[in-house]
Structure 1
């Protein structure tokens, strides 16, 4: 099977899963929370084990405290997945707002360059998205339960489309360019 067909199939699979996730965003949100909980538990355990091997009292204490916090968060997400989902969605909302504000501020440092408008619009769109989500969440908190799933589904669709386009690019590229694309 040629490389471009593998990329095409992977892209189509991502699109199908994206559609599936968008069909059940609350279920996908809880799945994201459970996976996050598992990853936090594993990371926390490794951090605690690593804390016993580092040199210095301050480094050891910091490593053990960080490991304990990750273990607590992981256990909390797994023990209460609905609350964990709302917490993760709220963190996403805060990150959208903070990232948007940061890009708006950054755009004014780029004033007079070709990047000004793109950065400004990107920042404003993130802020508007955060406000829209916040407004919907204020009237219906269940929106936060679906937010992570919706974001995951959209990302899977965009990722799938990108892989499909890349597959056709690889198919149509001269053989010299295909090897360079493989190396990158």
Structure 2
């Protein structure tokens, strides 16, 4: 099987899973929360073990406190996945808003360059997206349960299309190389 075909099939698989995720966004959101909880528990455990090997009382204390926070969050997400999903969705909302504000501020530092407008527009769109999410969440807080799944599904679709485009590009490059080799013969 050629490389381009592998990438093409992987892209199709990503699109199929993206559609499935968009069909059940709450299930996908809760799954993301559970996986996050598991990863936080693993990270917290490793941080705790590493914390005892750190030199210096201040660093050791900080490492152990960080481990405790990660372990608590991991346990909390696993014990209460719906509340954990709402928490993660709220964090995503805050990150969209903060990222948008940061890009707007950055854009004004780029004034006079070709990067000013795209950076400004990107920041404005992030803030608008955060506003849309906030509006839906304030009308129906359970909408936040769908947010992570919707974002994951959209990302999987974009990823799938990107992989397919890359595969077609690679297929075209392979064809060009073959045509060039034939012309040289």
Q: Shorter chain as normaliser: what TM range?
A: over 0.9
> Which residues in structure 2 correspond to 1:85-100 (within 5 Å)?
85-100=85-100
Partner of 1:14: 14
Q: How does 1:31-42 map to 2 (within 5 A)?
A: 31-42=31-42
In the TM superposition, residue 176 of structure 1 has moved relative to its aligned partner by: 9.8
Unaligned runs of 5+ in 2: 178-185
Residues 117/58 of structure 1: CA separation in 2 closer, same or farther (3 Å cut): same
TM-score of the aligned structures, taking structure 1 as reference length: 0.94
Which digits, 9 at most, give the CA deviation of each residue in 1:5-33, with x for residues without a partner? 11011100000000000000000000000
Runs of 4+, deviation exceeding 6 Å: none
Larger C-alpha radius of gyration, 1 or 2?
2
For residues 114 and 165 of structure 1, the distance between their equivalents in structure 2, rounded to whole angstroms, comes to 27
- The number of aligned residues is 177
Structure 1 position 167 matched with structure 2 position 167? yes
Equivalent runs, 1:71-82 vs 2, <5 Å: 71-82=71-82
CA RMSD for the aligned pairs? 1.3
SS in 1 for 2:123: helix
Please state how far the C-alpha of 1:172 moved relative to its aligned partner. Answer: 1.0
The CA deviation at 1:174 is 4.5
- Unmatched tracts of structure 1, length 5 or more: 178-184
The equivalences for 1:173-184 within 5 A come to 173-174=173-174
User: Could you say which residue in structure 2 is the equivalent of 1:24?
Assistant: 24
SS of 2:111's partner is coil
